[in-house]
């Protein structure tokens, strides 16, 4: 394992990597926006398959520097950050793997810098925040009545930090974020260390209350421009509904899609071995 810091717009960005690029480089984009790379560490298994696997904490997240200027927390900034990381770590044309918001970022990056990408894998990724939000609203309405009542009560008061509200939100997360009985320490770390300045500015107070600046982000009309090998992964119970994945699959020509039957948002934790098999099959098909 190697690690270090690189400079992006005058700010310090933390990165780490595993393995050597015998078959190529893989760049992992974490979710949030505002989480840390740690919950994506299962992807490091790809180092054993001959890839250099690179992780980093995005601007304002984890071990990377937090700017005071919140106007920087927009998708366009993070697209340029991906390009800076690619250049400074000499990744050539990496395979980009994006989880959740990282999947959205991978799409945004591909739309601007497709020539610098050899393939894309999204896990619980999205191309339309409005569509994703509508689907989450449907999931929310299927929560137990008392849980939904608690959520609606505190949302009407704007009291997102209330303990009762947080407990009600966790019911949603246990269904649609990670369905494991016991959550991995890496996932817990990423959630506990989430950068509220980034998360609140871009997304909102939780996964289904998308009131930040990404709420209208929608690139459905641009997806036909993407022509690199593209794998869309989702879980049957994913908070980013399989309906979103199917729509992406329809719009990205020659894309492949797989739905994990026992997973929600994090199949690389929930169905580790099955996830590895699906990803390895895709990588073998493009190399």
Q: Is 265 a catalytic residue?
A: yes
Tokens 């729509």, residue? 247
Tokens 């009762």, residue? 164
CA distances, 276 to each of 1, 44, 79 (Å)? 20, 11, 27
| Catalytic residue of the set 64, 238, 258, 263 | 238
Beta strands in 102-246 (DSSP E): 119-123, 230-235
- Rounded Cα distance between 101 and 87, Å, is 22
**Residue 84: its H or E element:** helix 75-88
> Which residues are bridge partners to 95 per DSSP?
26, 119
| Catalytic residue of the set 37, 127, 258, 265 | 265
Q: What is the 3-state secondary structure (H, E, C) of 54-76?
A: EEECCCCCCCCCCCCCHHHCCHH
- Rounded Cα distance between 48 and 79, Å, is 28
Q: Is 218 a catalytic residue?
A: no
| Catalytic residue of the set 64, 100, 128, 190 | 100
Q: Is 264 a catalytic residue?
A: no
Angle ∠(148,195,119) on CA atoms, nearest 5: 95
**DSSP-based helix, strand, coil % in the chain, nearest 5:** 45, 20, 35
The residues annotated as belonging to the active site are 100, 238, 265
């Amino acid at each position: 394992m190697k690690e270090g810091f690189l400079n992006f717009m005058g700010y310090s960005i933390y990165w780490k990597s595993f393995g050597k690029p015998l078959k190529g480089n893989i760049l992992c984009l974490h979710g949030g926006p505002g989480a840390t790379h740690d919950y994506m560490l299962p992807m490091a298994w790809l180092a054993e398959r001959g890839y250099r696997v690179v992780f980093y904490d995005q601007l304002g997240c984890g071990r990377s520097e937090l700017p005071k200027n919140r106007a920087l927390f927009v998708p366009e900034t993070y697209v340029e950050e991906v390009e800076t990381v690619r250049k400074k770590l000499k990744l050539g044309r990496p395979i980009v793997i994006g989880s959740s918001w990282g999947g959205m970022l991978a799409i945004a990056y591909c739309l601007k810098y497709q020539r610098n990408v050899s393939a894309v894998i999204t896990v619980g990724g999205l191309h339309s925040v409005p569509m994703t939000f509508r689907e989450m609203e449907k999931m929310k309405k299927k929560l137990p009545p008392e849980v939904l009542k608690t959520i609606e009560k505190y949302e009407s008061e704007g009291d997102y930090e209330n303990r009762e509200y947080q407990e009600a939100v966790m019911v949603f997360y246990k269904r649609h974020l990670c369905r494991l009985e016991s959550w991995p320490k890496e996932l817990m770390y990423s959630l506990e260390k989430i950068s509220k300045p980034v998360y609140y500015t871009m997304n909102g107070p939780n996964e289904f209350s998308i009131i930040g600046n990404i709420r209208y982000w929608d690139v459905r009309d641009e997806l036909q421009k993407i022509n690199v090998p593209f794998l869309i992964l989702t879980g049957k119970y994913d908070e980013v509904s399989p309906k979103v994945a199917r729509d992406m699959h329809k719009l990205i020509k020659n894309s492949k899609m797989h739905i994990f039957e026992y997973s929600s948002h994090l199949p690389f934790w929930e169905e580790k071995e099955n996830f590895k098999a699906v990803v390895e099959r895709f990588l073998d098909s493009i190399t």
